[in-house]
Homo-oligomer: A and B are copies of this chain.
Amino acid sequence: MPETRRIGQIIRLKPECLQAYKDCHAAAWPAVLKQIKDCNISDYSIYFDDRSYTLFATMKWTGTDFEADMESMKANPEVRRWWEMTDSMQETLVDGSTGSTDSKGWWKDLEEVFRCE
């Protein structure tokens, strides 16, 4: 029985990386986009706040095994290459995290306090 989760996450963008971050996301690698879909993630958006330099991501996951989907994401070498690039443009808000492949995560997961489907 598939279930749906909505995920909200934040991270800080390094100010000097703003244009490069926008550019690479405007032309995201097809293998990365395919892996996102293969992991049952949809409606994935990243928003940018120009005052706090915070990036805010939201996505919807609909599947049967969230952990397995996240593992297959991590196992994809193209995704890891993408993360190597994007991690270097960001400053995590997760204490002690070393990067996107760390089990702590690189983006900080937020609590959902309201939902209206």
Q: Residues of A at under 8 Å CB distance from B?
A: 6, 8, 10, 21-22, 25-26, 28, 33, 36-37, 41-52, 54-58, 60, 93, 108, 110-117
The secondary-structure label for the interface of chain A is strand
Q: Which of B43, B51, B110 contacts A56 (CB 8 A)?
A: B110
Contacts of A43 in B (CB 8 A): 6, 43, 60, 117
A10-B56, A58-B8 as given contacts; A114 in contact with B49, CB under 8 Å: no
B10 touches A114 (CB 8 A): no
Name 8 interchain pairs, CB-CB below 8 A, sorted by A: A8-B47, A37-B116, A42-B117, A43-B43, A43-B117, A44-B117, A46-B115, A50-B111
B10 x A46 contact (CB < 8 A): no
Q: Is there an interface contact between A45 and B111, defined as CB atoms closer than 8 Å? A: no
Rounded to whole angstroms, the CA-CA distance of A59 and B48 in the bound complex is 15
